[in-house]
Amino acid sequence: MSLPTLGLRHLALWIDDAVFAATVHFYRGALAMEVQWQPDEDNVYLTSGTDNLALHRAKAPRRVVHEHSPLDHLGFCVPTAEDVTRWRERVAAHGGAIVQEVRTHRDGATSFYARDPAGNLLQVLHLPSLR
């Protein structure tokens, strides 16, 4: 028997104290996310309307045991391929470090990659198959 889900719509990240405020500001400005809930100064839950990104302040610097974090990147889907370019400009204007410029992939998707102030890699992506 198949059990349906509503998809992956919640992600929680530990953010080092030194860049916590800058990271919250980045997602609010660059990705136009709104505060959905902030139970205290160490936890902020952001949304773009159909999702939930939780940012939790790490009191001590977090160390990655492996060379890379197990999290590859966060993906933000947009309605059209043209929107990807507009979002690239917005993310860069809000201090996002562009890692890979806008390009069209073999599967017809269009995206770019950037890093937030905490160093997390994010992708803004148009998938033609998503409606």
Domains assigned to the chain: 10-59+72-126 (3.10.180.10)
Question: Is residue 50 helix, strand or coil?
Answer: coil
Q: 58 with 118: CB under 8 angstroms? A: no
What confidence category does residue 67 fall into, taking pLDDT thresholds of 50, 70 and 90? low
Specify the higher pLDDT residue, 61 or 29: 29
To the question of pTM greater than 0.95 for the whole model, the response is no
pLDDT of residue 117: 94
Segment (H or E) for 21: helix 20-30
- CA 35 to chain CA centroid, Å, is 14
pLDDT of residue 86: 95
pLDDT of residue 38: 96
Segment (H or E) for 81: helix 81-93
**What are the pLDDT digits (tens) for 87-119?**
999 999 999 999 999 999 988 999 999 999 999
Q: 84 with 110: CB under 8 angstroms? A: yes
For 55-83, what is the mean pLDDT?
A: 80
What percent of the chain stands above pLDDT 90?
A: 77
pLDDT of residue 61: 67
- CA 91 to chain CA centroid, Å, is 11
